Amino acid sequence: MRPIEVCRHLKEATTKILLLDRGKLVSQGTGVVIDPRGIVLTANHVVKPFTSLSSPTIVGIFAGSAPVVFPTFFGDLSLDVGTPEFLRPLEIDLAVLIPRNDLHVRSFLMLEDDIPSEGTEVIAAGFPEDVKPPLNFSDKIRFDNPEVAEKEVQIRQFIAAQFRFIMFRSAMIGTVFPIYLSGKADVFGSKTPFTTRAAEFWLDNTSVPGASGGPVVNMKGKLLGIVSERGLTSTTDLTDQVDFQVPSGSTMVQSHKLISWSLEKLGETFK
């Protein structure tokens, strides 16, 4: 596919994700539809606060459609993949969102089964969270007014829909870390066996805040993985004893295969 065709397809299948608590924005990111029923993949850290909030709502903003509510999510996986004892288990920063009803969406991405190689050309998509309205509506609209406060969720969702500003970035896969998983995982109370060959990989182009959970596709338009985090020049503590310097000007992506093995079981759960 030509890049213009890939981007057109991405624009139709990618959604802005908002996590709200009693109408207030807690976090935001990006997600992508990977099933005609409207199942969405995103980064787990975008929606993880859901479990600690008093009245949480996960909302997806799609182009040309009304906001969609996702009642819950499946994610927050941490699996031991045979790493040395001094390293923490692999943190799978992926989550699956299943809508209340089938969406019958306009477009969705096919999943690439192969693990990409270094040098693969890709396109990433995401919604920058630093895109702002031309005026600060939080200052102009008095949410402390009880009558306005009752409509705060609708107002904020409307603003988010109006400024659905998506960015596309071309990149190359700079390095790939293969991951082989086999075992059982708890899928909403049911132990589900799985085996998968997946990967973490780094792109040679940095993402922007808000792009977390965004899709990374090859030039066939198939989903390779989900944006997990930006590269930073500071170090990240893996344990109390080990520091790992993250490459700057880059983006870490996790293969969809780290969680897409669960889709069949989740589909049965939410029928």
Token pair listed for 66: 């009304």
User: What per-residue confidence (pLDDT) applies to 237?
Assistant: 46
DSSP, collapsed to helix, strand or coil, labels residue 60 as: strand
Q: Which domains does the chain have, with CATH numbers?
A: 3-79+87-269 (2.40.10.120)
User: What per-residue confidence (pLDDT) applies to 140?
Assistant: 58
User: What per-residue confidence (pLDDT) applies to 256?
Assistant: 96
On whether the CB atoms of residues 16 and 60 are closer than 8 A, the answer is: yes
On whether the CB atoms of residues 86 and 237 are closer than 8 A, the answer is: no
Token pair listed for 243: 């520091």
Q: Is the pTM of this model over 0.85?
A: no
CA-based nearest residue to 160, from 189, 128, 191, 184: 128
User: What per-residue confidence (pLDDT) applies to 216?
Assistant: 97
User: What per-residue confidence (pLDDT) applies to 86?
Assistant: 43
The whole-number mean pLDDT for each consecutive block of 10 residues of the chain, a chain of 271 residues, reads 93 91 88 90 92 89 77 77 53 87 78 95 86 52 69 64 75 90 80 86 80 94 90 44 59 92 77 58
Neighbours of 233 (CB within 10 A): 9
